[in-house]
Amino acid sequence: MRITLVNGDITEQRVDAVVNAANSSLMGGGGVDGAIHRRGGPEILEACRKLRAGHYGKGLATGQAVATTAGRLPAKWVIHTIGPVYSMSVDRSELLASCYRESLRVADSLEARSVAFPAISTGIYGWPMDDAARIALDTVRQADTSVEDVRFVLFDSAAYAVFEARL
Ligand code: ADP
């Protein structure tokens, strides 16, 4: 597996699957979730609604992942995963690691070979970037997956620098 860091916008990545840091409702939100739905168009929300009407009536649990179409994005799929909200009193690292593992598992089931990840939970959910980068990189490196190209797409140069130092 090759791991690449990009300082940029995940909605512009030409990859098989783009991972979305969604919320459990799957009905859209701010941050990277908002950007993916805006850029990908209504087809993605429509697919999420169908998931909610089917197997995911209560939404998606933290640490889990599910795929939809990528709509108009230059990718084939969006893999929606639910990051944990950061807590100083409870260690939720395993749930954050699960987001990366489960997303790669879903990617494998789609036979996706290239996957772009944002820095899950580091925005609205408040995870410190350095710790999030450690968990993201360790988990992806150790994953048992057929994905060949993992791209971490960091939205600003500070986040990029943190990932670069960790890598
Ligand atoms: P969470 O709720 O999991 O914290 P956010 O979307 O608030 O999710 O933030 C996750 C990370 O995604 C943050 O580091 C944020 O800066 C970054 N981000 C926001 N928009 C984009 C984008 N278009 N492409 C890549 N990363 C983005």
Distance of CA 8 to the CA centre of its chain: 15
pLDDT band at 117 (very low <50, low <70, confident <90, very high): very high
Tell me the catalytic residues.
Answer: 33
Which single residue is written with the structure tokens 């030409």? 14
With a cut of 0.95, is the ipTM above it? Answer: yes
pLDDT band at 4 (very low <50, low <70, confident <90, very high): very high
Atom of ligand 1 nearest to the CA of 159: 14
In CATH terms, the superfamily for domain 2-166 is Leucine Aminopeptidase, subunit E, domain 1 (3.40.220.10)
Sign for the CA dihedral angle at 37, 40, 42, 46 comes to negative
155 neighbors 33 (Cβ within 8 angstroms): no
How far apart, in whole angstroms, are the C-alpha atoms of residue 68 and residue 137?
24
pLDDT score, position 160: 98
Which amino acid residue places its CA nearest to atom 19 of ligand 1? 32
88 three-class SS: coil
> Is the pTM for the entire model greater than 0.90?
yes
pLDDT score, position 80: 98
41 lines ligand 1 (CB under 6 A): no
Which amino acid residue places its CA nearest to atom 13 of ligand 1? 123
For residue 165, give both structure tokens.
């130092």
For the segment 11-64, what is each residue's pLDDT rounded down to a tens digit? 999 999 999 999 999 999 999 999 999 999 999 999 999 999 999 999 999 999
122 lines ligand 1 (CB under 6 A): yes
